[in-house]
């Protein structure tokens, strides 16, 4: 398929990455005035360190994130429900309702045993500061206490774009991993020969390689491709894995947006003039 061509995927990622650059200065400004102790800004290359003498903005951002957690997805109570749809016949609704109640209990148990509460809270904090947050939803390894595994994707790793219907469902994630980490995730046979041989010889076991994971909608489902950013000789970027999903494993949400914008606008962005005045 055309959108699984590694060179085309890499080109689309780099184009979307260039478009994201216009937001990075604003993101860095927001993080500097609310969470200055954070290691780095979202893609801003290391980040500045502001001398802040007022913690009001940081406290307010953390309190708003905690309020979102308590109001939308409280860990201490059930915040979702399953009910029969309107197309279900009334005589079947009672029996189906019992089955759905059992499904609710099973789903709640897996969420309670997973890391959802910790990761979604981090997403709410990104939502308040950056205006955009990304939560990765995966199946946990066999034998884990929960069937689910969640990851709050740092915004400096996420590059977003809108799909064919205007939805925010084109997602690229760029991370870095050692050969051992790549082999653990994708299998040792997925590694290019040069990387596998160097790692086996102990020459590059600590070297980190740029990994790009792309989830691309085609109007019916989502294509997935994982590739290394650096080319493998004349063969282009090495592909580590390919697949197809019925729905995207990345859950992306925004606080608010203006027409024509891909990334969201946050409460911190709106309050930045006042925050700077108060500091």
Token pair, residue 185, equals 């995730």
The pLDDT value given to residue 1: 47
- % of residues, the chain, pLDDT over 70: 88
Do 131 and 269 meet the contact criterion of CB atoms below 8 Å apart? yes
Mean pLDDT of the chain: 87
Rounded Cα distance between 136 and 249, Å, is 6
pLDDT tens column, 69-107: 999 999 999 999 988 888 887 777 777 888 899 999 999
The pLDDT value given to residue 39: 59
Rounded Cα distance between 75 and 206, Å, is 38
pLDDT tens column, 117-135: 999 999 999 999 999 999 9
Residue 147, φ and ψ in degrees, nearest 5: -80, -10
- pTM score: 0.87
Residue 223, φ and ψ in degrees, nearest 5: -85, 140
Distance from chain centroid for Cα 22:
20
Do 139 and 147 meet the contact criterion of CB atoms below 8 Å apart? yes
Positions of the chain with pLDDT under 70: 1-3, 37-53, 199, 201-205, 232-235, 278-279
Rounded Cα distance between 93 and 86, Å, is 10
3 state DSSP class of 39: coil
């Amino acid at each position: 398929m055309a959108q699984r061509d590694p060179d085309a995927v890499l080109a689309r990622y780099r184009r979307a990455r260039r478009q994201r650059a216009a937001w990075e200065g604003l993101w860095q400004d927001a993080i500097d005035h609310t969470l200055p102790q954070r290691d780095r800004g979202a893609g801003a290359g290391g980040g500045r360190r502001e001398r802040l003498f007022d913690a009001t903005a940081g406290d307010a951002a953390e309190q708003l994130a905690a309020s979102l957690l308590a109001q939308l997805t409280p860990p201490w109570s059930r915040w979702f429900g399953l009910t029969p749809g309107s197309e279900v016949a009334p005589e079947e609704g009672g029996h189906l309702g019992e089955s759905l109640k059992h499904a609710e209990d099973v789903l709640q148990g897996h969420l309670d045993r997973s890391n959802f509460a910790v990761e979604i809270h981090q997403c709410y904090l990104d939502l308040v500061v950056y205006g955009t947050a990304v939560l990765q939803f995966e199946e946990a390894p066999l034998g884990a206490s929960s069937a689910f595994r969640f990851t709050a994707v740092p915004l400096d790793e996420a590059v977003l774009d809108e799909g064919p219907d205007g939805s925010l469902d084109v997602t690229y994630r760029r991370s870095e991993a050692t050969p051992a980490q790549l082999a653990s995730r994708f299998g040792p046979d997925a590694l290019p020969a040069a990387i596998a041989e160097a790692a086996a010889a102990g020459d590059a076991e600590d070297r980190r390689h740029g990994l790009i994971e792309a989830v691309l909608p085609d109007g019916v489902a989502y294509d997935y491709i994982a590739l290394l950013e650096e080319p493998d000789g004349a063969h282009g970027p090495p592909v580590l894995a390919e697949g197809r999903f019925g729905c995207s494993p990345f859950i992306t949400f925004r606080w608010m947006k203006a027409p024509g914008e891909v990334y969201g606008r946050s409460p911190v962005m709106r309050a930045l003039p006042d925050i700077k005045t108060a500091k």
